[in-house]
Amino acid sequence: MKKLNSFFLTLSLSALASGVYAQERSKMFYATMGTQDALELKENHPNDVKIIKSVNENSAVMLNEHSAEELHHTGLRHGPGYFYKTSEKAAIETIVKANSIQKAKALTKSAIPFQITQDQLVNQSLNLVNNTNIDRHIRELENYGTRFHTMSSARRASTDLKAKWERLAGNRSDVSVRLVNHSGSPMPSVIMTITGTEKPNEYVVVGGHLDSTSPSNQNDAPGADDNASGIATITEAARVLFSMNYRPKRTVEFMAFAAEEIGLVGSQEIARDYKNRNVNIVSYVQLDMTNYKGSSQDVFITNDSYNSTSLNNFLRQLMDHYNASGTHKITYGTSACNYGCSDHHSFAQQGYETAFPFEASFNESNPRIHTSGDTSSIFPTPNATHAAKFAKLALEYLIEVSNAGSGGDPNPTGYCASNGKKTSDEYISKVALGTINKTSAAGSGGYSDFTAETTNLSKGRSHTITVTPTWTGSTYDEAYAVWIDYNQDNDFADSGELVWSKAASRTTPVSGNFTVPSSAKTGSTRMRVSMKYNAIPTSCESFEYGEVEDYTVVIGSKVSSNPDAHTTEEGNAPCIGAAPYNSSANYQFNDRVTYQGKLYERTANGWGHIGLCKTFAKSSNVDLLRDDSSLFDFNPNPVTEDHIEITVNNELWKSGSIWVVDTNGNIVQEIRLKSKATQVNTSKLSSGVYFLALFNGSKSFTKQMIIK
């Protein structure tokens, strides 16, 4: 009886509660926000927020005026603290997409080997930075009175900046400046492009917003720090590059956005457009508020989850390398916005790698922004010396990333040059080691910079390298040598760094084994492969006949010891001791995880794919994959409907997967094959070019897919 009573009591109480709730809900709207914030809000205002669904860091919620107001006033948050959504479906779709973008990013090795190789150019650039230019430019922008996006002064600020950037570029034919008009604002954004000399389709971008705001946003939004400072900083970096006559290998872009203050409007339209056009932005760095030194350290790297951990680490690495002491000293800390606080969020949402180095810790940043008091007069340090540090960091980032590991440089920075003077009789046509499987023609000048090709190598493990020579006519005796810069001191001269050599012979291909010593330094380093006619070459030699090629290898620590160590290359053994990937874990360098049957290792550049946990049936699968375009088919292509049908024409469907990879190398979808023919929903893929990749563990076969 007692039991029954309390049952009724509970029932009626909850009915009452849901009645009240229903009333409140009538004023509610949909939104997405951080899960942590949503939980806090729920605890303090249980009736004003409903959490519909949480996927890791993000939640789809319903809010009302009270909770929205509360969010706005919490702490030092300037933005709304949530993203408005028109429907429950839109809110859920947003958090699911954010999660899959994050997962794909975590699993994809960055396309750029984040290595420091441009010491000479970067050091030259640092000495050219002039803080007084930044100070003067901030005042110039402040003098518009307001740059609120609807005001004519804001439009003028854009056209004037375009003219200023054009003047800086002089008459260089590889530079262009354009205005980008928007549907959500009368103010245009400004973009300056320096076209890359070797990889023009890879973009390295730095940006910030040009507009400003204040409560009455008419004539009193000087926006000196927010964000005249970022625009002036970017402009000074550009001026320095032009004064050096710098010609980047990748395309470099400078972006000044309109209408950031009303909800990232300019950057959102531009980021979407770039994604729709499949523009490959290799990384994006935002400069928004650079001149208010509010904390004891100089630069704060923001570690919001939508930013790229590897890009953030690279910025730290740059400051360790270039700014540890002396005139260019920069100290740094870590902070976070905890929401999509500036334009970089627009690019992160499209799956691009972003970072946002900031002027102070979030709580100690400029308290006067978005008021008429955001002027130069309140900067704690004079003459824009604080912003100048950001200009230096921007130059380090722009030069290193735009020139990283691209082909054709006969004198790779930091390493001695080596080449074969004639490749007309023989050259290296293939090098295979781990995931490196590089087929090539003779390099111009007898040298090829293939440092964009990388593989992971484990300490204490034996690895096999195979080199294939090609003779154009008669066969000659060829000798080989391979070096790895194990201690990363930019030479191949230390003991043990000649990892393999072979006396002259006409054997083809040639193979050798080497074991990575446990004393090797972990991380990315260079491997040099040299083939010389009739005698074993030395590492810095320029010899008569033959060829030299450089690669990148990433040294990882030994796999956790296990009794089956001698079988690690086979069966499930590689995955023994590695735990499944956990999206909320904080992984360190060298950690290994399994994910969907594959083994990954955390490298300096993200997750490196090491291999499959299970091997395929011991049939001749490897042969099956060889250049066989009949391996699988799919239709229609271009994809005009919301699904495709994939047919796998061999036994691989029994154990294989197909990955859908975008042009940035992000894995956007994994298709588990269940039968020879599989129907796959493609409605979530935005239009553009993708690749379908069928894997057998060591090889893959790829076909291009175009979504209309």
Residues in touch with Zn ion (CB under 5 A) = 226
Q: Is 362 in the site for ligand BES (CB under 6 A)?
A: yes
Smaller CB distance to ligand BES: residue 214 or 669? 214
Smaller CB distance to Zn ion: residue 78 or 103? 78
Q: Is 62 in the site for ligand BES (CB under 6 A)?
A: no
Q: Is 365 in the site for ligand BES (CB under 6 A)?
A: yes
Residue 648's beta-bridge partner residues? 632
Q: Closest Cα partner for 398 from 240, 291, 574?
A: 240
How near is the Cβ of 289 to ligand BES at its closest, in Å? 5
The alpha-carbon radius of gyration of the chain (Å, integer) is 28
Q: Rounded distance, CA 666 to CA 494, Å?
A: 37
How many CB atoms are located within 10 Å of the residue 474 CB?
A: 7
Q: Rounded distance, CA 408 to CA 549, Å?
A: 11
From the list Zn ion, ligand BES, none, partner contacted by residue 225 (C-beta under 5 to 8 A by kind): none
From the list ligand BES, Zn ion, none, partner contacted by residue 541 (C-beta under 5 to 8 A by kind): none
How near is the Cβ of 557 to Zn ion at its closest, in Å? 44
Q: Is 266 in the site for ligand BES (CB under 6 A)?
A: no
Tell me whether residue 333 is exposed, middle or buried, using C-beta atoms within 10 angstroms of its C-beta: 0 to 12, 13 to 18, 19 or more: middle
Q: Is 263 in the site for ligand BES (CB under 6 A)?
A: yes
Residue 480's beta-bridge partner residues? 502, 531
Smaller CB distance to Zn ion: residue 59 or 268? 268
Q: Closest Cα partner for 357 from 337, 382, 383?
A: 337
Q: Rounded distance, CA 285 to CA 579, Å?
A: 33
Q: Is 269 in the site for ligand BES (CB under 6 A)?
A: no
At residue 275, what are phi and psi to the nearest 5 degrees? -65, -45
From the list ligand BES, Zn ion, none, partner contacted by residue 342 (C-beta under 5 to 8 A by kind): ligand BES
Q: Is 610 in the site for ligand BES (CB under 6 A)?
A: no
From the list ligand BES, Zn ion, none, partner contacted by residue 485 (C-beta under 5 to 8 A by kind): none
With CB under 6 A as the contact rule, the residue among 202, 288, 426, 485 that binds ligand BES is 288
Cα distances from 241 to residues 322, 591, 687, in angstroms, run 17, 38, 35
Q: In what order do the strands lie in the sheet with 189-194?
A: 175-180, 189-194, 250-257, 199-209, 280-286, 354-355
Smaller CB distance to ligand BES: residue 108 or 229? 229
How near is the Cβ of 209 to Zn ion at its closest, in Å? 7
Smaller CB distance to Zn ion: residue 338 or 605? 338
Tell me whether residue 368 is exposed, middle or buried, using C-beta atoms within 10 angstroms of its C-beta: 0 to 12, 13 to 18, 19 or more: middle
C-alpha 373 chain-centroid distance: 36
How near is the Cβ of 233 to ligand BES at its closest, in Å? 13
Q: Give the pair of three-digit tokens for residue 659.
A: 């990955």
Smaller CB distance to ligand BES: residue 381 or 424? 381
| Run of H or E residues at 282 | strand 280-286
Q: Rounded distance, CA 271 to CA 350, Å?
A: 7
Smaller CB distance to ligand BES: residue 77 or 422? 77
How near is the Cβ of 83 to ligand BES at its closest, in Å? 8
How near is the Cβ of 685 to ligand BES at its closest, in Å? 27
Q: Is 368 in the site for ligand BES (CB under 6 A)?
A: no
Q: CA dihedral defined by 587, 663, 655, 680, rounded to 10 degrees?
A: 120
Give the list of residues 6+ apart from residue 591 with CB closer than 8 angstroms, or none.
Answer: 601, 602
How near is the Cβ of 261 to Zn ion at its closest, in Å? 5
How many CB atoms are located within 10 Å of the residue 270 CB?
A: 24
DSSP 8-state assignment for residue 323? S
Enumerate residues 205-224 that contact ligand BES by CB under 6 A.
209
From the list ligand BES, Zn ion, none, partner contacted by residue 236 (C-beta under 5 to 8 A by kind): none
Binding mask 322-361 for ligand BES (x = CB under 6 A): ---------------x--xxx-------------------
From the list ligand BES, Zn ion, none, partner contacted by residue 429 (C-beta under 5 to 8 A by kind): none
Give the list of residues 6+ apart from residue 92 with CB closer than 8 angstroms, or none.
Answer: 52, 53, 60
With CB under 6 A as the contact rule, the residue among 48, 135, 202, 226 that binds ligand BES is 226
Q: Rounded distance, CA 676 to CA 469, Å?
A: 39
Q: Rounded distance, CA 117 to CA 223, Å?
A: 37
How near is the Cβ of 76 to ligand BES at its closest, in Å? 7
How near is the Cβ of 356 to ligand BES at its closest, in Å? 8
Smaller CB distance to ligand BES: residue 37 or 261? 261
Q: Is 289 in the site for ligand BES (CB under 6 A)?
A: yes
- Catalytic positions, written as ranges: 209, 226, 260-261, 288, 370
Q: Rounded distance, CA 68 to CA 175, Å?
A: 45
Q: Is 78 in the site for ligand BES (CB under 6 A)?
A: yes
From the list Zn ion, ligand BES, none, partner contacted by residue 337 (C-beta under 5 to 8 A by kind): ligand BES
Smaller CB distance to Zn ion: residue 226 or 478? 226
Smaller CB distance to Zn ion: residue 226 or 541? 226
Give the list of residues 6+ apart from residue 500 with CB closer than 8 angstroms, or none.
Answer: 465, 480, 481, 482, 512, 513, 514
With CB under 6 A as the contact rule, the residue among 261, 449, 541, 547 that binds ligand BES is 261
Enumerate residues 378-417 that contact ligand BES by CB under 6 A.
none
- Please work out the total of residues on this chain that contact ligand BES, with binding judged by CB under 6 A: 18
Q: Is 591 in the site for ligand BES (CB under 6 A)?
A: no
From the list ligand BES, Zn ion, none, partner contacted by residue 554 (C-beta under 5 to 8 A by kind): none
Q: Rounded distance, CA 157 to CA 45, Å?
A: 43
From the list ligand BES, Zn ion, none, partner contacted by residue 340 (C-beta under 5 to 8 A by kind): ligand BES
Q: Give the pair of three-digit tokens for residue 337.
A: 């916005």
Q: Is 604 in the site for ligand BES (CB under 6 A)?
A: no
From the list Zn ion, ligand BES, none, partner contacted by residue 458 (C-beta under 5 to 8 A by kind): none
Q: Rounded distance, CA 545 to CA 534, Å?
A: 9
Smaller CB distance to ligand BES: residue 92 or 265? 265
Residue nearest to Zn ion (CB): 226
- Dump the DSSP string for 368-391: TTTSTT-SGGG-SSSTTHHHHHHH
How near is the Cβ of 208 to Zn ion at its closest, in Å? 11
How near is the Cβ of 265 to ligand BES at its closest, in Å? 9
Q: Closest Cα partner for 572 from 592, 595, 597?
A: 597
Enumerate residues 106-125 that contact ligand BES by CB under 6 A.
none
Q: Kindly list the residues in this chain that would bind ligand BES in the complex (CB under 6 A).
A: 78-79, 209, 226-227, 260-261, 263-264, 288-289, 337, 340-342, 362, 365, 369
